[in-house]
Every structure is written in structure tokens, then in C-alpha cells.
Structure 1
Amino acid sequence: MLKEVTEKEFRELVNQGLVLADFFSSTCGPCKMLSFVLADVDKTCGDKATILKVDFDKNKELVEEYEVSGYPTLILMKDGKELKRLSGLQQKPLIVKMLEEQM
């Protein structure tokens, strides 16, 4: 599942299994490219992981809580605990491998 979420939705979903949070900005070029990559990743791994898109500008509290300093930033979590973090534009094979290591 690939979904843009509010802070409330994020807090409800983050504790449910494997979650990949994409902290992005709507004005960021690499973030837009990463959205296409994540849509493709969702087709491959969407049944095993939830991909949440968190707008950097609309969710300042989450940005501060997770100490996200730039975008795009991907944070992989399992049952609410951070496992891994990647910054910048990433390619599908790396993201899929990271998810499969936790499945």
C-alpha cells in the first residue's frame, strides 16, 4: 500500500508491521522522482510492506520527532521501531533489497 498520510494516520499505521516512510517535499525534484520509484516498489512489495508518504511541510512535528534533516528521506520501521534510514534519491533494487531483508 502506498499512501500519503497525515500525522494522525501515520501514528495509527506506523506500528503495524513493516512500514517505509518517505519524508518528501512537493517542491523537491528528487522527491518527485522517488515517488515513481516507490510506486514501482509498491507493485513488487506492497503486500508485505506499507509505504507512507509524509509531506515535510505539512508534518513538522513528525519531521522533528524523527530528526529528518533533509528530503527525500526514507525510514524503514517494523512495529514502530526504526531499522534503517536512507537519504536522497534511491533506486528500486536497493529499496526492494532493504525491504526483503526484513520480511
Structure 2
Amino acid sequence: MKGDFNKIVNGNIPVLVDFHAEWCGPCKAQSPIIKELAQEVGGKVRVIKIDIDKNQAIAQRYNVRGVPTLVLFNEGQIVWRQSGVQSKSQLLSVIKQYTTVMS
């Protein structure tokens, strides 16, 4: 996953990463929101889910302490990061604010 992850976040399409865990209640609440968002922004923003238990090195590299943690990458740079459940409208407005793909 590691090489692919770097390639994905450094690409020219913005990437929203949902760091989550199977055992996390709030992550289960975030999941359908992320799915809906992915359908809405499909093609313009890549939305990926990273299980912190299966990808500990990536979680450590980005200092993920709590889940869910959502991170928006634009051309390899972290432009936004937030822990806790986010609504679809919050996420859409973040994407609009930090990228040019939704304007």
C-alpha cells in the first residue's frame, strides 16, 4: 500500500483520506457520508479509506492519533486535516475551499 499511497497523494487529483479503524464507532457513522461524498465528487477528488490497524506506518507518518481523521491532500501537500465525524456539507465546503476542482 505504501508506494501506492505516495503515488496517489502526490498525483494531480486532490485526495481526501479517511483514516479509520474497524472497531471505531464514529468511523462507522462517517463511512456512509464518505461513500456519498465519493459519488458526488467522483473524478474530481479521489476519496480513499486507510485502516490504521492495517497501515500503521502510514498512520504514524501522518501522526494519526484518533479516528476518524480526515486529511485532504492537494498535489502532495496536506491542505486540511480534522479529527471526528464530518458532515458531507462540511467536507464539500473544505474541498471547495482548498482545491480548484469544485469551483
TM-score, structure 2 normalization: 0.89
Q: State the SS of the aligned residue for 1:34.
A: helix
Match of 1:30 in 2: 26
Determine what percentage of the aligned residue pairs are the same residue: 34
SS of 2:60's equivalent in the other structure is helix
The C-alpha deviation readout for 1:23-63, integer Å capped at 9, x for no partner, is 00011111111110011111211221001111010111111
Matched letter for residue 66 of structure 1: Y
1:79-99 deviations in Å (ceiling 9; x for gaps): 110001010111000001111
2:2 and 2:66 map into 1 onto residues whose CA distance is: 18
Distance 2:22 2:42 in 1: 23
Residue 7 of structure 1: how far off its partner (Å): 2.6
Q: Does 1:62 align with 2:48?
A: no
More strand by share: 1
Partner of 2:78: 82
* Unpaired segments ≥5 residues, structure 1: 1-5
Equivalent in 84, 92, 96 of residue 92 of structure 2: 96
Show structure 1 runs of 4+ deviating over 4 A. Answer: none
SS in 2 for 1:84: strand
Query: What's the TM-score once normalised by structure 1's chain length?
Result: 0.89
1:44 equivalent in alignment to 2:40: yes
SS of alignment partner, residue 73 of structure 2: strand
Distance in 2, Cα, partners of 1:54 & 1:69: 14
The 2-side partners of 1:83 and 1:75 are apart by 8
Secondary structure, aligned partner of 2:15: strand
The answer to whether the Cα contact below 8 Å between 1:22 and 1:52 also exists between their aligned partners in 2 is yes
Q: Alpha carbon RMSD of aligned pairs, Å? A: 1.0
Preserved contact between residue 10 and residue 52 of structure 1 (Cα < 8 Å): no
The letter for the 2-side match of 1:96 is L
Aligned residues: 98
